[in-house]
Chains A and B, each alone.
Chain A
Amino acid sequence: MRQFIGGFILGIFLVGIAFGMFSAVQQGAIDQFIPAQGGVGQPRQDDVWMISRMVAAEARGEPFDGQVAVAAVIANRIRDPRFPPTVNGVIYQPLAFEPILNGSFWNVNPSSEHVRAARLALNGWDPTGGATFFWNPATATSRWIWSRTVTSRIGRHVFGF
């Protein structure tokens, strides 16, 4: 019996350590993904990074102008009065983007191509001519999105207002 109790206590101890380490890792992971807010001098770096992640999440495998187009939609929303006025605001707007809802946004690794696409879009390149919506016709589940006016199609996505 005594051996059993001794073993039991040892076991609890081990579980405690394991859980402690697990919590620390979790906390580290969460802290890592909270985006830093840039100051006046360097806002663009963070904006480019944010948008490049969305490009990586949404436009993987798309032709390059398709990637720039996806990034341009985000850039267009910032200047549009119907949407939040910052990159963070647009990307994190509740229910706006699928990769945020399903968490994939925090697991992507943007390539230098994705970063370049984001940078071009923030500097004004816009193959869509002002679109503020994009969706994949094959996988879109919302009926409402189809009430938007489609203005162009690039790769798998259609773009519109």
Chain B
Amino acid sequence: MSYRDWFANYKNVLLGVLAALLIGAGLMWYSGIGNRTYAMDNALEARYQTAFFDLIDSTENLDVLLGKALASNSNSHNIITLSTAWHEAERARGSLGELPLEMPSMMRSQQYMAQLGDFCYSLATKLADNVEISEQEKETLEELHGETRTMHRELRELTTLAQDRKFRFGNLTSDNQQRLTPETQNVVDGFGKMDERLQDEVPTLTYDGPFSDHVVNMEPRGITGKEVSPQEAANIAQEFMSELGYDFDTNRSESSEGDIPIYHVQFGEADQRDEAAGVGISQQGGHVVWMIVADTPDGEQLDRGEAFSRAQEFVDDLGLGEFTPIGHLEEGNELLVNLALVQDEVIIYPDMVQVTISLENGNIIGYDAAKYYTSHTERDLPESEITEEEAREKVNHELQIEEVRLALIPLSNLEEKLCYEIRGTMGEDIYYVYINVETGQEEMVLLVVETEGGTRSI
């Protein structure tokens, strides 16, 4: 039978199939895709609304908790209250981070919550160490209580706006931003005003915690010397790279005003990106703060021991002092080694440098001394009041002690404590316990985590 005959015979069937395909596809498309989008929109809106109302809940709880902490006379009770407040502040911060608001409306509010939580945590820690809360801290807590109360009130006012049927958080995301309804705009403005008020009214907070302004705005201590010119910086960088065996032409030297003001010296021609490298030279003193070579090692020719020796040799040649390896990580055909300064047989953890070595050819392809230059300073290490024997006694008796060293450790508020670093095992896990040499107090406990590439302590 020829095609034309076949076609003639089954023409109606084919018409039927075609009709069905067209109608069916049309219906499926319209209802199927349309429905799915609608459902997703709603699910997302539900998430946003949850975040919003969770935020209000947390702020209300904070208002209550801070008030109670001020009203209570019981330190042990306050430890719990302030810890709970920290928890609520973290939740509030999380909720803020989930709302589809532009940066300007939210950054200060998030910072406020982070600092508030941090501050409460630091107070709880103090109380747990049997230290009284100072007058200054009490005043700060009162101020924060007042602020939180105002914030709570402002958010409640936004609730009535948010409950308007025409309001959807979803309207705030990308495409629709040009066509915000007045109801939505009011809510956005409300957040904006709250954030602005926080900027104006809440002063800088300085306390014992990682988000304290004095920690976040820390000045680098290890940068000393005279100012250098961009050209001098480029020369220093050139020499540094030559000594590592690289043969680059300097391209340009640009100023970069970050935490440590540097001249960013970039090497390599534009079309030879394989050899490109960048070096950061401090504007004051011309110190090499960091270096990166744009090399992605392909394969492992070098063994780990050899790579370690090269890293050690490189750091020894820097002339910054004596360093010892404190950790390493092997990933992507490169070995990263962390080294810390050693002073009078004490490991100075804050003064740390990092080196990355290519396992393909043993080249130094990365160097970072930013932490060293931020923390390093002349230090008078205190005398030990506690002997090593006494320190060993202080440790949890379940811990099997393997090694004891002296170490200076940084706390989250930038204070540095000289401790006995006691490495011990408990079951399968390895822990580092730090006992203060002056007070005998346990300052920190770290768990050593072994991963495929190396070890980390957390």
Asked if B114 CB lies within 8 Å of chain A CBs, one says: yes
Closest to A148 in B: B103
Given A65-B266, A94-B99, A128-B256, also A83-B21 (CB < 8 A):
no
Residues on the A chain within 8 Å of B12, using CB: 1, 3-4, 7
Given A6-B16, A10-B17, A40-B458, also A125-B368 (CB < 8 A):
yes
Can you list, as one digit per residue, whether each of A8-35 has a CB less than 8 Å from chain B (1) or not (0)?
Answer: 1111101110110001000000000000
Q: How far is the CA of A84 from the CA of B106 in the complex (A)?
A: 11
- Contact, CB under 8 Å: A83 / B110: yes
Residues on the A chain within 8 Å of B254, using CB: 152-153
Q: How far is the CA of A90 from the CA of B37 in the complex (A)?
A: 26
Q: Which of A81-102 contact B (CB under 8 A)?
A: 81-85, 89, 93-96, 101-102
- Contact, CB under 8 Å: A101 / B173: yes
- Contact, CB under 8 Å: A127 / B17: no
- Contact, CB under 8 Å: B292 / A7: no
Residues on the B chain within 8 Å of A40, using CB: 449, 458
Q: Which of B1-40 contact A (CB under 8 A)?
A: 10, 12-21, 24-25, 28, 32
- Contact, CB under 8 Å: A94 / B101: yes
Q: How far is the CA of A131 from the CA of B256 in the complex (A)?
A: 10
- Contact, CB under 8 Å: A94 / B258: no
Q: Quick check: which of B54-62, B147-155, B273-281 contacts chain A, the rest being far away?
A: B273-281
Residues on the B chain within 8 Å of A85, using CB: 93, 114
Q: Which of B272-300 contact A (CB under 8 A)?
A: 273, 276-278, 280, 290, 292, 294, 296
Residues on the A chain within 8 Å of B253, using CB: none
Given A65-B278, A94-B99, also A112-B15 (CB < 8 A):
no
- Contact, CB under 8 Å: B18 / A11: yes
Closest to B270 in A: A63
Q: How far is the CA of A42 from the CA of B451 in the complex (A)?
A: 7
Residues on the A chain within 8 Å of B261, using CB: 129
Asked if B260 CB lies within 8 Å of chain A CBs, one says: yes
Asked if B94 CB lies within 8 Å of chain A CBs, one says: yes
Closest to B19 in A: A8
Asked if A75 CB lies within 8 Å of chain B CBs, one says: no
- Contact, CB under 8 Å: B16 / A131: no
- Contact, CB under 8 Å: B258 / A152: yes
Closest to B452 in A: A42
Q: Which of B257, B262, B264, B331 has the most CB of A within 10 A?
A: B257
Residues on the B chain within 8 Å of A50, using CB: none
Q: Which of A7, A84, A144 has the most CB of B within 10 A?
A: A7
- Contact, CB under 8 Å: B16 / A124: no
Asked if A55 CB lies within 8 Å of chain B CBs, one says: no
- Contact, CB under 8 Å: B16 / A4: yes
Contact of B366 among A9, A23, A82, A125 (CB under 8 A): A125
Q: How far is the CA of A89 from the CA of B51 in the complex (A)?
A: 14
Given A120-B292, A129-B260, also A10-B332 (CB < 8 A):
no
Residues on the B chain within 8 Å of A151, using CB: 256-258
Residues on the A chain within 8 Å of B20, using CB: 7-12, 14-15
Given A6-B16, A11-B24, also A127-B97 (CB < 8 A):
no
Residues on the B chain within 8 Å of A68, using CB: 292
Contact of B24 among A15, A95, A102 (CB under 8 A): A15
- Contact, CB under 8 Å: B174 / A128: no
Q: How far is the CA of A93 from the CA of B258 in the complex (A)?
A: 24
Closest to B298 in A: A112
Residues on the A chain within 8 Å of B19, using CB: 4, 7-8, 11
Residues on the A chain within 8 Å of B108, using CB: 82
- Contact, CB under 8 Å: B366 / A15: no
Q: Which of B229-282 contact A (CB under 8 A)?
A: 254-262, 264, 266, 273, 276-278, 280
- Contact, CB under 8 Å: B354 / A81: no
Closest to A65 in B: B278
Residues on the A chain within 8 Å of B13, using CB: 3-4, 6-7, 10
Q: How far is the CA of A113 from the CA of B273 in the complex (A)?
A: 12
Q: How far is the CA of A84 from the CA of B100 in the complex (A)?
A: 13
Residues on the A chain within 8 Å of B101, using CB: 94-95
Residues on the A chain within 8 Å of B278, using CB: 63-65, 127
Given contact pairs A4-B13, A19-B32, A116-B296, a sample of 17 additional A-B residue pairs in the complex whose CB atoms are under 8 Å apart: A6-B13, A7-B16, A7-B18, A12-B20, A14-B17, A64-B278, A81-B115, A82-B108, A82-B110, A83-B107, A94-B98, A101-B174, A120-B356, A124-B371, A129-B261, A144-B103, A152-B264
Listed by A's residue number, 28 A-B pairs whose Cβ atoms lie within 8 Å are A6-B13, A7-B16, A7-B17, A11-B17, A12-B24, A14-B21, A63-B266, A63-B273, A63-B278, A65-B294, A68-B292, A81-B211, A83-B97, A84-B110, A94-B99, A95-B100, A95-B173, A119-B332, A120-B292, A123-B336, A124-B371, A126-B290, A127-B278, A127-B290, A129-B261, A130-B258, A151-B256, A151-B258
A contact set with B: CB distance below 8 Å: 1, 3-12, 14-16, 18-19, 23, 40-42, 44, 63-65, 68, 79-85, 89, 93-96, 101-102, 112-113, 115-116, 119-120, 123-131, 142, 144, 151-154
Sorted nearest first, the 5 A-B pairs with minimum C-beta distance are A129-B258, A7-B16, A11-B20, A64-B294, A81-B114
